[in-house]
Structure 1
C-alpha cells in the first residue's frame, strides 16, 4: 500500500502477536523508531546512562522542533481573537455595514483554504521547512497592509493576503510534526499548533482590552500591527529546525535525512534502520503508478474511509460553531445584556483563557487516555453547553429570567463550550488528519482537510450575523447544538482509536472491514485486521 515500512508494534505498549509484514517489515528491532511506541527500558552494563541521556536529548529536540514549527499557528489565533474586538472599532472608523463586517471576518477562512490547498503541493516541491517560512512572509505582508489600510478595500486586500499565509501555516505544521515525532508522543506534539492557535486567540483578546482606550482611528491598527511580532520569530525558528527526513528521502537526499534521524532517534544504529525503512517506503510510493490527486479523487475503499474520517472531523470541528463564539463573543455577550465595551472585551479574555488552559490539558491527556475518549467528552460537552446557551438567550429575550443570572449563565456556557472544544475536537482533529494517511498522500490529503476546515469556518463566520437576524441568536445556537449532537454519532461510528500506534498500524485500521463500521475497529481489533490481510 506504499506505507512506511515497520512491523506492527506492540499495541498499547505491550507485546504483540501480530504477524510480521513481508520483506524488511518483518525483522525484529530493539530500537524505538520515530513511528513506534517505546519498548521497556533495557539494562546495559556500563551503558545505561548513555542510552537514557540520549533518549531525553532526542525528545527535547523533537519538542523544540514542534514548538518552532507551530509558531505560525499563533498568527491564525491572534487574527481570530483580535478581529473580534477590532471589528467594533473598524465599524466606527471606516463606517462599514453589517454585511461588510461578515465579509471582513469570514473571508479569511475562505482565502486561507487556497493557501492550504497550495501548501500541499508546495511542501512536496520545496520542503516542509521552507513552506513554514513562506507562510510567515506572506502573513507579514498581509498584516502590514491591514495596519496601514486607509479604506475598507485596502483592508480587505491585506486580509486576503494574510489569509493565504495562514492557509500555508495551518496545513504544514501538523504534517511536519507528525513526520518527526515518535508514536508514543506524536499526539501531544502534533497538538502543539492547536495550543498555539489558542494562545494567539488569548493574546488577541488581551490586545483588544489593552488598546481599546486609544482613539478609534488608531486602536484597531495597533491591534493588527502587534500580530506581526510573532511571525518575526519564525526567522529564528527556520535556523533551528531541520527538514523532514521523509521529504529528504523522497528528494534523494538520504545523507541529510540520516543526519536529521541521528538527532531525533536514540542511536546511530536506529537511525540507519529508520533510514532504510523510509527509503523502502518512498520507493514503494514512487512506484504506485498513480498521481496523488488522482488517488484522492478516485480513492480505493481504504483511502475513501480515511477521507471520510479525515475530512469529516475537519468539517465537524468548525460547523459546530466555534468560530461564531470566538469571532462574535462580544456581540453574543452584548445580546445577553453586557453593556460596556470594557466588560465585553474582558469577558472575551475569559473565553481565551479557558481555551488556552484546556488545550494544555488536552496535550497532557491525548497520549495517555487516547484520542477517542477526548472526542467523546468534547462533543458531548459542547452539545450540552450549546443547548444551555440557546435556552438562556431565548429566556433572556422573553424576559423569563433575571438579567444578571442570564448573563452569568451565558458567559459560563460560552466558556464551557470553548473549553470542551479545546480539550477534544480542537487538537484531536489536526492530530487525526495528520496521522491517518500514508506517506505518498499525507501532505496533500492534509491540505485537503485543512481546506475543508477553512471552508466550514468561513461559512460559519460569514453567515452568523445573518442567521442570528433570521432565527435569533437562540435559534442559531440551537442549530449548532443539533450539529454538535451529530458529531457525537460521527465520532462513535467513523473515528478509530490511534493512540500509541505506528503510522503503518493506523493505516491497517482503515483496511478491508466489509460490513463493519470504523467505530468498531478499535485498538483490540487491529490484530484481527492484520490477520485478515495476511
Structure 2
C-alpha cells in the first residue's frame, strides 16, 4: 500500500512541486514516470532474489527500499534530490509489485485465490485514496512544507509492512522447493479445512516441483536456485509455457494502455480542463476518484472467485471503452468552447465519465491483471516469470505517465482519450482469444489449461460428451 500512497500523493503534489521548484512540464512528466522506469531494476531482480531468500523476506526488503526513498523525497531540498528519491522508491515498487501477488497466489487455496491475489490492487486503491486525502489536508501547509510532507508520508506504511510481514507464514510452494516439506505442510494445514486435503496439495506441489511424492520432510533443496528459468521461458518454451507467457505478459502490457495512469495521476488536470476551477475543488474531486476506485475493487474481490476472471475482465473493458469515448467527447466539446463557457452537459459528461472509467477499471482490469498473471505460471517459472510481467507493467505505466501531457498537447486531451478507447478494444480482443479461464483450478493444474490453443479450446468446449444416465455434457475445458 505504501507504493500507492505515493501515486495518489504525487497526483496532487505535482501541483505544488511545479509552483515551489519552478519545474517545467517535461520535469513534471519525468518525476511522474521515473519511479516506474526504476521499478524495472527491482522487478527484474526480485524474482531471482525471492527464489533465494523467500517470499516473505522479499516483501520486507521491498518495503525497506521504499522507506528509504520516501524519506529522501520528504527531505528533498531541490529537484535533483527529489528525482533521486523517486528512483530509490521505484526499485522498491518493482520488488513489491512482483512479490505481493506471487506470495498471495502461493499461500491461498484455489477457492479464494482470486480474491487474495486481488488484494494488492485494493491496497493500491486504498493507498491512492489516502494520498488524495493527504493532498487535501496538507495543502493548507506552507508551500515549502506541504508537498514534502505529502511525499514523506510513504515512510509510515513502509515501516509497518517491513516489520509486520515477518509475522506471516512463508509460501508453502517456496518451502517445498527449499526441501522444507514439513514446514510447508504446517502452512497448508492452516490454509485448508482438513489435514487430508493439505497432504494432497503437498503431494501435488512436490510433483510440480519435480520431487517424488514419497520424498519426506528431509528432502534436499532443489538445485539451481532459479537458474535455467530464462532459457525455459524465452529460448526453448514448450507450447503451454509459450501460451502462458503470452497471456501473462499481455495482460500487463494492456493494463496501462487503457489510460488508467493518465486518469489517476493527472486527474487534477482533467478536472481543471473540465471546468473545476479552484485547487481545493480539484483535490476534493480527486478524493471522489479514490473512493470510487476503492469501493469497486472491493466489489471485484467479492465476485472474482464466484463468476470467474473472464466475465469480469471483459465486462470491465466494455465499461472502459464506453467511458473513455464519452470522456473524450466531453473534453473535446469543453476544449473547443474556450474561451467561452462550455455547455453544462459536456462538463457533467466529462466529470461523470472519469468516475465511470475508474469504476469500470477497478472492477475487472485492475485486480484481475495481478491475479491472473500471478497464478498461470508453473511453480518453477512463477517468480521470475512474474518479474518479467511487472517489468512490462512498469514500462507501460512509465510510457503513459511520462508522455500524457505531451500527448494531449499534440492531439488534444479529448483525442488522447479516444486513442485510449481504441487501445482498450484491442485489449478486449486479446483477452478473449488468448486468456482461458483459471477460476477454481489449483495452481498445479493451470499449466494443463494452456495445453490447447484458442481454437482447440473452442472446439473442445462445444463438443458434447456422453455421460452416465444417457445425458450429454460439454467438454470440461473452459474457454
How many residues align? The count is: 456
Q: Does the aligned pair in 1 maintain the 2:64–2:162 contact within 8 Å? A: no
* CA apart distance, 1:518: 5.9
Residues 204-241 of structure 1: CA deviation (Å, up to 9, x unaligned): 11111111111111100111122211112214422320
- Shift in CA distance, 504/276, structure 1 to aligned 2, threshold 3 Å: closer
Distance across 2 between alignment mates of 1:139 and 1:496: 35
Residues 414-460 of structure 1: CA deviation (Å, up to 9, x unaligned): 11111100000100111110111111001111111111111000000
Equivalence for 2:62: 135
Equivalence for 1:295: 232
Residues 95-124 of structure 1: CA deviation (Å, up to 9, x unaligned): 111100000001111111221111111100
Residues 478-519 of structure 1: CA deviation (Å, up to 9, x unaligned): 110110111121122111111112223322121144x71667
Distance across 1 between alignment mates of 2:337 and 2:53: 59
* CA apart distance, 1:78: 0.9
Which residue among 94, 102, 119 is the counterpart of 2:46?
119
Q: Does the aligned pair in 2 maintain the 1:493–1:520 contact within 8 Å? A: no
Distance across 2 between alignment mates of 1:194 and 1:506: 22
- Shift in CA distance, 195/518, structure 1 to aligned 2, threshold 3 Å: farther
- Extract unaligned runs of 5+ from structure 2: 213-221, 466-473
Which residue among 404, 415, 438 is the counterpart of 2:378?
438
Residues 293-338 of structure 1: CA deviation (Å, up to 9, x unaligned): 0011122221111111111111111111100000000011111211
Residues 35-59 of structure 1: CA deviation (Å, up to 9, x unaligned): xxxxxxxxxxxxxxxxxxxxxxxxx
Question: Counterparts of 1:27-426 in structure 2 under 5 Å?
Answer: 74-283=1-210, 291-298=228-235, 299-399=237-337, 402-426=342-366
Which residue among 391, 412, 423 is the counterpart of 1:451?
391
Distance across 2 between alignment mates of 1:392 and 1:317: 23
Q: Does the aligned pair in 2 maintain the 1:494–1:519 contact within 8 Å? A: no
Distance across 2 between alignment mates of 1:394 and 1:512: 45
Which residue among 500, 505, 510 is the counterpart of 2:440?
500
- Shift in CA distance, 460/519, structure 1 to aligned 2, threshold 3 Å: farther
Q: Does the aligned pair in 1 maintain the 2:21–2:79 contact within 8 Å? A: yes
Equivalence for 2:218: none
Q: TM-score, normalised by structure 1?
A: 0.81
SS at match of 1:398: helix
Q: Does the aligned pair in 2 maintain the 1:508–1:529 contact within 8 Å? A: no
- Shift in CA distance, 297/362, structure 1 to aligned 2, threshold 3 Å: same
- Extract unaligned runs of 5+ from structure 1: 1-73
Distance across 2 between alignment mates of 1:492 and 1:130: 36
Question: Counterparts of 1:486-497 in structure 2 under 5 Å?
Answer: 486-497=426-437
SS at match of 1:338: coil
Distance across 2 between alignment mates of 1:169 and 1:522: 38
Which residue among 516, 522, 526 is the counterpart of 2:455?
516
- Shift in CA distance, 271/84, structure 1 to aligned 2, threshold 3 Å: same
Distance across 1 between alignment mates of 2:60 and 2:162: 7
SS at match of 2:439: coil
